[in-house]
Structure 1
Amino acid sequence: MAAGDAGSARALSVTVVDACLRGGGGADGGRGGGGSPTAVLDDAPLTDEERRRLPVELGTSHAVFVSAGAAGAPVGAAGAPVGLRFFTSAGELPACGHGTVAALAVLAERAGAERAAAERFECELRTPARTFSGHCVRRGDRLEAMFEPGPVEAREATATERELVLPALAIGPGDTAPGVRAASLGRWRLLVPVRTRAALTALAPDLDRLRQACERTGLLGCYVHSVPDSHGVLAARMFAPAIGVPEDIANANSTACLAATTGAGVGAGAAAGRLVVDMGDSLGSPATVIATTGSRDGTGAGGARVEVGGAARIARVVRWSP
């Protein structure tokens, strides 16, 4: 049934969040607009087919299902761990960065009545793969959420990945910059640098060919990004037709992968590095993702620590019937 049908006894309340708003440190530095519409709701006894259908019917790329980790605890109650499951029209994902930002915004909003406006909300989050922490602070009508996405695996792109994937992206001659890499936070994706924002804007990939290439190589998709400027600001586009997302408005996990592989700010005595990534312009919904990197122990010996996230705003609450 369509969203807004409250006649069914199974009608569920769904919060649509604009996650990773522009203006969280990006080029415009403004109040914040755009973002990636993401559906967030308390988990319910739904089939996987119903979970896949929800983002389609609500016009979001992803849906996030949240559940209490302790029996009888309200979802989002202080101290209670919260489970997260992520779905697109193609099925379940092990992780979703902007979905995590959206979930944190909803949980912080629920806790807001008991907290001072600027007080930091912290929560333990669980996915089927791991447990991690996130935090959120309200600033005006925006909720700024960050989380640690977990250890990033990285390697050189294989010859097969290059041969199948790069032609499907249709990058202009001479526009690819050195350093094509594969990285994973549960699923492998290619990180493909291009020399300029103009080259990124001009991309018109063959999405069907890219889907087939990603399915054959087991890749989640391709994160194509410009070279960071001296302030760590760049632009990116994420193409993931193999999981039902031709182009993602915002992709926090791939941004975290890029931050980890660049190693900005990691090392003895180094201050935390910061990447500010503008996305979504080609889709008419400008978004900004922020990633910070630093050493875990302050000396560089403890390895890299990455946090990623962005600003979010509650857009609307609707009733949806499976």
Structure 2
Amino acid sequence: MKAPLFQVDAFTTRRFAGNPAAVMLLEAYPEDETLRAIAAENNLSETAFLVREGGDYHLRWFTPKVEVPLCGHATLASAAVVMERLEPGRASVTFHTASGALPVSRSGTGYVLDFPARGSEPIAMPGVAAALGAAPEEVRINPFTYMAVLADAATVRGLSPGMAAIAALDRPGLIVTAPGDNAYDVVSRYFAPAKGIPEDPVTGAAHTTLVPYWAERLGRSTLACHQASARGGDLTCRLSDDRVLIEGACVFFLEGTAEY
């Protein structure tokens, strides 16, 4: 079997930054084992698999190890593939996913994801501090992740956490965040070694948890966010009722054909 394959740097305006995602357009989904093998072969944080569904697309995301219920950067990359390569000039697309219908529309600087907001609750969790090697001001939890709130952006940027300890937590990921520095309102990093991603370069899904928290704490709904990984990435986010609108740009790196 052959399928079009794209690699796109998401949440960046320049190549070799942001978060690279692979996007494959399929006629139909093969066995999950095949999808996992393709994702492992691509060896990126996520591979997105698209299948046409009426006027829109069904979308699934795989890390090199597992399927995930929501992924921001690979959805952004998929929107770029649809609107720039498969159907040039298209202004919006809806992806049907395990997290429901996810609309994406063009913006002046890229694309806007419309994702469900994920609230969080405070929890006493000393294991998070031990894993990070830093003392959070607060640890929060939801069904998808832990979130550690630190005092300042410099501490977030300088972390070298213990991946084995993070992988042993009873959530598949750990967001670390602090008030922003420079021109940013919010700075974060995201670690998910249990999913085969020691550190994700830029994580749209993490911002569905970050934005409700910081919007309430800072008293405003629109936030300039930066994920402070080695590659780095910028997101403009807005809380709108129970949705988080996440805006970012994409840059194409690779276009070709995969055989599987």
With normalisation by structure 1, the TM-score equals: 0.72
- 2:251 counterpart residue number: 313
1:149 aligns with 2:115: yes
Please give the alpha-carbon distance, in whole angstroms, between the structure 2 residues aligned to 1:45 and 1:180: 39
Q: How does 1:205-244 map to 2 (within 5 A)?
A: 205-213=161-169, 217=170, 219-228=171-180, 232-244=184-196
Aligned sequence identity (%): 23
CA shift for structure 1 position 231: 5.7
Distance 1:221 1:123, change over 3 A: same
Superposed displacement of residue 229, structure 1? 5.2
Q: Distance in 1 between matches of 2:102 and 2:132?
A: 34
Rounded Cα–Cα distance in structure 1 between residues aligned with 2:162 and 2:18: 25
Q: Comparing 304-313 with 87-96, which one deviates more in the overlay?
A: 304-313
Aligned equivalents of 2:9 and 2:93: distance in 1? Answer: 20
8 Å Cα contact 1:168-1:209 kept in structure 2:
yes
TM-aligned CA deviation for residue 39 of structure 1: 0.4
Q: In structure 2, what residue type is equivalent to 1:320?
A: A
Amino acid at match of 2:127: L
Alignment partner of 1:97 out of 61, 72, 80: 72
Name the aligned partner's letter for residue 141 of structure 2: A
Query: CA-to-partner distance for each residue in 1:221-256, whole Å, 9 max, x for gaps?
Result: 111112135965332110001111110000011112
Match of 2:197 in 1: 245
Which of 231, 237, 241 does residue 291 from structure 1 map onto?
Answer: 237
Q: Deviations over 1:134-162 (max 9, x none)?
A: 112475xxxx11111113232222x3xx1
Q: Find the aligned partners of 2:206 and 2:65 in 1 and give their Cα distance.
A: 19
SS at match of 2:161: coil
- The alignment's C-alpha RMSD in Å is 2.5
Instruction: Give the TM-score normalised by the residue count of structure 2.
Output: 0.88
Change (3 A) 1:121 1:286: same
1:276 aligned partner:
224
Which residue matches 2:48?
A: 64
Q: Give the match for residue 211 of structure 2.
A: 259
Q: Equivalences for 1:135-174 in 2 at 5 Å?
A: 135-137=105-107, 144-157=110-123, 159=124, 162-171=125-134
CA distance in 2, matches of 1:227, 1:265: 10
The separation in 1 between residues aligned to 2:15 and 2:234, in whole angstroms, is: 9
AA matched with 1:37? P
SS of match in other structure, 2:207: helix
Runs of at least 5 residues in structure 1 that lack an aligned partner in the other structure: 1-9, 24-30, 71-79, 295-302
Tell me how far apart the structure 2 counterparts of residues 196 and 32 of structure 1 sit (CA, whole Å). 29
> How far off is 1:209 after superposition?
1.7
* Richer in strand (by share): 2
Aligned-pair CA distance for 1:33: 5.6
| Other structure's SS at 1:204 match | coil
Structure 1 residues 256 and 126: CA distance shift in structure 2, 3 A: same
- Count of residue pairs brought into register by the alignment: 259
User: Contact (CA 8 Å) 1:33, 1:287: kept in 2 or not?
Assistant: no
Q: Match for 1:100: what amino acid? A: T
- Which structure's CA Rg is the greater one? 1
